[in-house]
Amino acid sequence: MCKTFHGNAKKFFGCLVNIEAKEVVVYPDDLPDPKPLVGEELNKPAMIFMDRHWPKDKTTQELIKDKERLADMNYAARLQKLVEKIGGTFIEYKPETGTCIFQVWIVLILSVGDWL
């Protein structure tokens, strides 16, 4: 089930959720209020859609967007292993848009720096 956020976006993105390059932190450690219990507020299962996620060619440093080359690299299986490593469930990889879809049960810190 997907949740839609309605409320103060500045508080939501400026305090409760920090989005940086390759990392999302929900309920950072420097919050003045205690973090909610598992299952409350944003501390719930989430479906993550990471768009424009393609590997780089190590020689040219260009993004690899060719579907056949991605299939030859078994790129979706690599993403699945990474998702499982963080305790998530891999749903799908769409090479046309570079969208990796997966579910996590509790979102506290999601760092994808090692994925690229």
State pTM to two decimals. 0.72
- Output the CA–CA distances (angstroms, integers) from residue 50 to 33, 35, 63, 88, in the order listed: 29, 25, 15, 14
Domains of the chain with bracketed CATH: 30-115 (3.30.1610.10)
DSSP state of 49: E
pLDDT reading at 101 higher than 90: yes
Question: Beta 89-94 vs 99-104: how paired, if at all?
Answer: antiparallel
What per-residue confidence (pLDDT) applies to 98? Answer: 94
Q: What mean pLDDT comes out for the span 35-52?
A: 82
The pLDDT value given to residue 39: 80
Using DSSP, state whether 29 is helix, strand or coil: coil
pLDDT at 16 exceeding the cut of 80: no
